[in-house]
Amino acid sequence: MPDTLFSPQSEINDALLAGALLGGGLPSEAEHHLRQAGLSYHLDDIAESHLREAAAIAPGHAAVLIGLYRFYFYKGRLAEALDVAERCLQKAAEANHFAADWRTVGAADAEFSRYESILPRFFLFSLKGYAYLQMRLGRMEEGRLAIAKLLELDPTDKIGAKVLLGVLERMGQDDE
């Protein structure tokens, strides 16, 4: 994977966004570790060490969770990425004042269809990551349930859940 997928600039932007909208400011020491993780992305142990330091300084902060998720996802460590996706879902539910169980969130709970509704979008993106990882890990029914919830919350499919649904529907069919 190219370093741009885990670039320090994207981490800084995420940290600023998350700081402003998802739980307050990120301590400068944690931001430093996120930046160092991005710079050392190609050195797995060092990058992960920086991410763990950031997590120790700012546990549960959205910017740290996003950094951890991206690292595990792009390194192909999908079970660990799923764990972080679940933590992102929990963080997003808390930030949006939703029930803890994503299955009980309804379309009337937030303005999911508005692009500028950052907190609900964070929830949708977290749920999409969760659905995708469930599928990649062979848990198709759980993935299907999450996709159905995405389409319920975002019926115009701004988040792109129908792509995942299409993958599910094509599974097991011979390619032509």
Tell me, yes or no, whether 34 and 92 share the same domain. Answer: no
pLDDT for 6: 46
Domain boundary (28, 54, 76) is at 76
pLDDT for 58: 94
Residue 56 has pLDDT above 70, yes or no: yes
pLDDT for 113: 86
Q: What is the rounded average pLDDT for all residues in the chain?
A: 87
Residue 23 has pLDDT above 50, yes or no: no
Give the contacts of 116 (CB within 8 A, at least 6 positions apart): none
pLDDT for 5: 38
Selection from 62, 53, 48 nearest residue 29 by Cα: 53
Residue 151 has pLDDT above 60, yes or no: yes
Residues 144 and 140: their CA atoms lie apart, in Å, by 6
Selection from 68, 56, 86, 53 nearest residue 18 by Cα: 68
* Residue at 176 is within a domain: no
pLDDT for 41: 94
For 66, which DSSP code? H
Domain boundary (39, 59, 76) is at 76
Tell me, yes or no, whether 106 and 23 share the same domain. Answer: no
Tell me, yes or no, whether 115 and 53 share the same domain. Answer: no
Extended beta strands in the chain, E state? none
Tell me, yes or no, whether 10 and 68 share the same domain. Answer: yes
Tell me, yes or no, whether 92 and 161 share the same domain. Answer: yes
Tell me, yes or no, whether 93 and 166 share the same domain. Answer: yes
Tell me, yes or no, whether 108 and 37 share the same domain. Answer: no
Residues 124 and 134: their CA atoms lie apart, in Å, by 15
Range of the domain at 119: 80-171
Per residue in 60-103, pLDDT (tens digit) is 898 899 999 999 999 999 999 999 999 999 999 998 999 999 99
Average confidence (pLDDT) over 18-35: 75
Q: Residues of the chain with pLDDT > 70: what percent?
A: 84
In the chain, the number of structural domains is 2
* Residue at 130 is within a domain: yes
Residue 19 has pLDDT above 80, yes or no: no
Tell me, yes or no, whether 42 and 103 share the same domain. Answer: no
Tell me, yes or no, whether 120 and 146 share the same domain. Answer: yes
Tell me, yes or no, whether 123 and 162 share the same domain. Answer: yes
Average confidence (pLDDT) over 167-176: 74
Residue 114 has pLDDT above 60, yes or no: yes
